Every structure is written in structure tokens, then in C-alpha cells.
Amino acid sequence: MTNPALAPKRAERLLSLDVLRGVTIAFMIMVNNNGGAGSWGFMNHAAWNGLTPTDLVFPTFLFVVGASIVFAFDARLRRGATRIELTLHTLRRGAVLFLLGIVVNGFPAFELEHLRIYGVLQRIAVCYVAVGLFYLWDRRVWTKVAVAAVALAGYWALLRWVPIPGAGMPGRDIAFLDPDLNLTAWIDRHVMPYHLYEDWTTHNLRDPEGLLSDLPAVGTALLGLLTGLWLRGDKTKYVKSLGMAAGSLACLASGYLWSVWFPLNKKMWTSSYVLVAAGWSLAAFAAAYWAIEQKGWGKERGRRWIWPWLVFGSNAIVAYLISELLPGVVGLLRFRAGGRRTDALAWLFNHAFARVPDRGWGTFGFSVTFLAICFVPVWILYRKKIFVKV
């Protein structure tokens, strides 16, 4: 017989977490389909060192994945699932996410010789499995803090003090965080040659979701997990909001300070970047929690303000898959217009948004329109109460 004192607490649905997930995936879809050249700077990633709002999208999603693990796993345990069953479920889900990521990378041509293996869904899968199993088999808070600290400090030590074969010591023989001569890129070129994000015809190959940078990415998910544990506690909502705000300030201060020696870099997923991104994620989460959970924006009339984000947040992976596969599907349905072959999205851009006098507004209009197209299928799923658990 189960001891009631040891039973998991009653599952609590946090609308603010769903909203944050929805806002994040919506912005991710927009920046991945930003209309190309001429789009505003904040709709693009930093070229190398530095930070733009776009650089905060992916780590915020990983942060949400970490926080969601607490509520999802506790709910399943309360319904009677065993840790072995949850372990197998986590491994299966991680494998499906990883395979879906490869499908996204290859669609529609699937050129196996140069098929990219790493990717966004693959990183989500790695972090979900690693952090999920860690939480499932070890509920202690201090171990999560310790592993996150070791991951971030260890990544810095590896990049700073491990010589690059044939190049030398970073910071002495070569520039620290050189775009091509760094440990992360060197490992990826040797583990996955010709299967990376960069053009395989160049010799300067690298991948923003490479193997070694999974280490600090796990740190991002762990910070989300720690936030979920904080919110699962017995403190008042007011105290929980204050705690997240304080955590945000601590992460931002420490991250920006560390960036003096270890620059913010999304493509390298540097440890300072992890802390700064987590700080902004916490700030957004604290604001959403305050408005929705404390002030009741998720009830009755206030719910209409968060409804679009709930739609996206309820089927976030589906929305992402649609946004990634849609251009490939449309590209297969080409037709002739104006004497040349084109597709529906290209035709729409060239005949509507490219004619907007201000290029920034034109590209932004295209990204909003693309987002609206992706919204339709997930809205239909939401209305039918179909929530796809990948």
C-alpha cells in the first residue's frame, strides 16, 4: 500500500507555463520564416558573439521543457505509473523527437550523403531525456544545482583550456571562441563530417546544435526544472513570483558579468549565454505567472487575451513541425507565373510583401502571415481537444 505522505502532490495545471510555451513557439516560427534579407535585426540571430531577441527563443523553449517535466512526471506518477514505465516512456519520446528532427532536416529531398543529424528537435530530445531521467530517479534539489553548475563551468573549462589539435591553445595560439577553431566545431567535424548545419562544400564546418554544446543546453533545461520545483512548493503565489523575479536578476547579473570573459554566443551555447537566456526566460515566466495565476487573466474574460498562446502552447511540437515542413510541401507544388516557375509562398511574398516600401515591415508582414497559416491546423486540434503528445 502506498504511503499517502509519500504520494506526489495533486497535479496543478499552470496556464502561465502553457502561455509561455505558446509565445515561444510562435516567435520561433516567425524568426525561422522572417522573410529573408531586409528583416529587422531583432528577427535575426547574432552573427557570432552577441545577443538578439531571436537568440532567446530556443533556450526559452528548453527552459519550458525543463519546467514542464516536473508537472508532467508528477501527474503520471500520481495516476499510478511506475518509474520504470516513465523511464521507458521518456526514452521512447526522446527517440521519436530525435527521428522527427532528422525528418525535418531531410524533407523533402532526403539527401542521405549530407543529411544533417543534429538539429532543434534533436537537442530538445537529448535535454528532455537527460533531465527527465535525472529528475525521475533523483528528486534532490541540490544535485540539480550541482550538475547545472558543473555543466556550465565544465563547458567553459573545456573550451578555454583544451588545445585544438593542429591549432593550439585558445586564448594564446588562437583567438578564444574563434568561429572555426574551437573545440565544439572540431569535435563536430570529426564526429559528423558532411552532416552539419553549415554548407558541406566549405571547410569551415560547424553546427549550432552540435554534440559538445549539448552539455550547457542540459544546464538550460535544468534551470527550467529547478523553476518547476520552486513552483511546485507550498509557498504563496506572491512569494513564488518574487522568487522567480529574484532568480531572473541573479541569472542576468551573473551571466552578463561572466560574458566579459566568456562571451554570449548562441551558436556555441556558451555558459554566460545560458545564464542570461535563463534570466530573460524567468522574467517572462514571472510576468506571465503574476498576470495569469495571481491576477486571474486565465479566467473568463481575461482568457481571451491568452487564448492564441494557449492554442500554440497546447500543441507546440506539432506547430513547429508544420512550420518546418510546410515550405517543403509548398515547394513541391510549383507552377508557372510571370514566365518562371514558382510556388505559393514565393508568389505571395513577391506579389504582396516585397512591394511594401519599407522592407522591414514587408518581411515582418510575411512572417506574421506565415504564423497565421500555421495557427489554423493547431487551432482545429485545440477546438477538437486533440493534444498530440509526441
Domain boundaries, the chain: 17-383
Tell me the C-alpha distance between 306 and 16, whole Å: 9
Report the C-alpha dihedral over residues 38, 41, 44, 50, rounded to 10 degrees.
140
- Low-confidence stretches of the chain (pLDDT beneath 70): 1-12, 199-204, 298, 300-302
Q: What is the pLDDT of residues 117-158, one digit of tens each?
A: 999 999 999 999 999 999 999 999 999 999 999 999 999 999
Does a cis peptide bond (omega within 30 degrees of 0) precede residue 216? no
How much is the pLDDT for 49?
95
How much is the pLDDT for 58?
97
Q: Which residues contact 268 (CB under 8 A, 6 or more apart)?
A: 159, 177, 182, 184, 213
Tell me the C-alpha distance between 151 and 317, whole Å: 26
Tell me the C-alpha distance between 299 and 171, whole Å: 55
How much is the pLDDT for 377?
96
Q: Which residues pair with 342 in a beta bridge?
A: 335
How much is the pLDDT for 9?
44
Q: What is the pLDDT of residues 287-342, one digit of tens each?
A: 999 999 888 876 766 677 889 999 999 999 999 999 999 999 998 888 877 778 88
How much is the pLDDT for 1?
35
Query: Which 3 state secondary structure label does DSSP give 23?
Result: helix
Residue count of the chain: 390
How much is the pLDDT for 98?
97
Q: Which residues contact 233 (CB under 8 A, 6 or more apart)?
A: 240
How much is the pLDDT for 5?
37
How much is the pLDDT for 295?
83
Q: What is the DSSP letter of 291?
A: I
- Alpha carbons within 13 angstroms on the beta-carbon side of residue 335 total 9
> pTM for the full model?
0.92
How much is the pLDDT for 303?
73
How much is the pLDDT for 10?
45
- Alpha carbons within 13 angstroms on the beta-carbon side of residue 139 total 7
Residue 3's Cα: distance from chain center in Å?
Answer: 38
How much is the pLDDT for 201?
57
Which spans in the chain are helix H?
Answer: 15-32, 57-78, 83-106, 120-137, 141-161, 183-191, 214-231, 237-258, 271-289, 303-314, 316-332, 344-351, 359-383
CB 18 within 8 A of CB 313: yes
Q: Which three cell numbers stand for residue 171?
A: 586564448
